[in-house]
Structure 1
Amino acid sequence: MELPTPESIKKKRVKLGLTQSELAARAHVSQPLIARIESGDVDPRLSTVKSIITALDDMEKSRITAKDLMTAPVISLSPDESVDQAVKIMEKYGFSQVPVLENGVPIGSISESALVQAMGSRDIQRISNARVRELMEDSFPAVAPGTDMGTISALLEANHAVLVMEMGKVVGVITKYNIMRLLNK
């Protein structure tokens, strides 16, 4: 077993976004001890190093991000496609909602709920021939690939899906199903 250096402990702590106090609490040691270990001022007991490394490893495993959860590539619709085409795509992929993109930019979404609601007040043939833009809802919220699962879960409580965007482009989508799949791992 190779023992970590003070520099490698600090580097990993900083990479995980932990303060010395947060690491100390997770490793059940004091913050001043973490500071002294990281500065190389003290030679800790092996059991202390083990506690610190275990805390860092546990934190690293629990840090699930949008990039880990997302489904890619994103199946999307154009606002000018027919609702009939939207239904075919939803059926083919088993989706209950689909983002609507125009020139790669999210402008809305269409869901089974919107379609069912429209069917209650319009002629089915007219709905089938309508354009997606006529029945689309608001766009899904968007996050960066490094966004944590807590933020994504909160967004999914009020939205059908969350888009993952990088450099102005949609690179993935996350639904409640993506979160629930974590329970099987």
Structure 2
Amino acid sequence: MEELGEVKKIRKKIGMTQTELANRAGVSQSLIAKIESGRIDPTYTKTRKIFAALSELEKKEEVNAGQLMTSRIVSVSPGMPIKEAIAKMKKFQISQLPVMDRSKLIGLVSESSILDALLKSKATIVKEIMQESPPIVSKTTSIQVVSNLLKHYPIVVVSEEGKLIGLITKSDLLGKMYKS
């Protein structure tokens, strides 16, 4: 169980008053005040109620993939010329594009893969330079999971019932964290 000294910090982070927390936990406001000031050692049962209420409220406040994602999806087809993919990236100011074949995600093309291809090969179409598909998550996936995936992939795809509904980049994640 968490430390009693954390009650005030967690409550403030959630933006809740002592009275609101007391009502949620089924205890008195004066008990919350005494716990936060360190003047009382509450019973285990009351402590459990308080932390259960805080935990429930924190989960409601948690940001998920559905809140982070960009729903405007700019993609390319596997047969598209690399020059057109570059033009799309410039036009929409993005650094990676999902490769879609008949509404199915089959890969990813990024500035890096294009640069490598232009320097090392004679590739002319997206299919010849695309990377493996990025990870796919549901819109309820937590920000922590998305953040960990973005450490290893340039983009995360959000899907619902097998349909691509959004994309998340490091830029989207940083933008959300900066606003918080």
How many angstroms apart in 2 are the aligned matches of 1:162 and 1:134? Answer: 22
The alignment's TM-score, normalised by the length of structure 2, stands at 0.71
Q: Distance in 1 between matches of 2:26 and 2:115?
A: 67
- Could you tell me which residue of structure 2 aligns to residue 46 of structure 1? 29
Indicate the residue corresponding to 2:148 in structure 1. Answer: 154
- Preserved CA contact (<8 Å) 1:27 1:55: no
- Secondary structure at 1:158's aligned position in 2? coil
Q: Which amino acid aligns with 1:111?
A: S
- Contact 1:26–1:55 (8 Å) recurs in 2: no
**Separation in structure 2 between the aligned mates of residue 142 and residue 59 of structure 1, nearest angstrom:** 22
Match of 1:60 in 2: 60
Ranges in structure 1 where 5+ consecutive residues have no aligned partner:
1-20, 29-36
Residue type of the alignment partner of 1:80: G
Q: How does 1:71-150 map to 2 (within 5 A)?
A: 71-122=70-121, 126-127=122-123, 130-150=124-144
In 2: Cα distance, 1:43 partner to 1:134 partner: 62
Q: 3-state DSSP class of the match of 1:163? A: strand
In the superposition, the TM-score normalised over structure 1's length comes to: 0.69
Gaps of 5+ in 2: 9-22, 37-49
Q: What is the CA–CA distance in structure 1 between the aligned matches of 2:5 and 2:160, rounded to whole Å?
A: 34
Alignment check: 8 A CA contact 1:161 1:173 kept: yes
Residues 55 and 165 of structure 1: CA distance in aligned 2, closer, same or farther (over 3 Å): closer
Name the structure 2 match of 1:171. Answer: 165
Q: Report the Cα offset of residue 45 of structure 1.
A: 1.4
Identity level (%): 29
Question: In structure 2, how many angstroms separate the alpha carbons of the residues matched to 1:25 and 1:152?
Answer: 30
| 1:105–1:70 CA distance, 2 compared to 1 (3 A) | same
Backbone CA RMSD of aligned residues: 2.9
Q: Distance in 2 between matches of 1:156 and 1:177?
A: 10
Q: Cα 1:145–1:44, aligned 2, differ >3 Å: closer, same or farther?
A: same
Residue 43 (structure 1) shift: 5.9
In structure 2, the residue matched to 1:8 is none
Deviation at 1:174, TM superposition (A): 0.4
Q: Which amino acid aligns with 1:140?
A: P
Structure 1 Cα separation of the partners of residues 166 and 77 of structure 2? 17
When structure 1 is superposed on structure 2, of 99-108 and 42-51 the one drifting more is 42-51
Moved over 3 A (4+): 24-28, 47-59
| Corresponding letter in the other structure for 2:142 | D
Letter in 2 for 1:137: Q
Q: Work out whether residues 164 and 173 of structure 1, in 8 Å CA contact, stay in contact via their aligned partners in 2.
A: yes
Partner Cα separation in structure 1 for residue 7 and residue 120 of structure 2: 60
| Distance (Å, rounded) in 2 between the aligned partners of 1:56 and 1:81 | 48
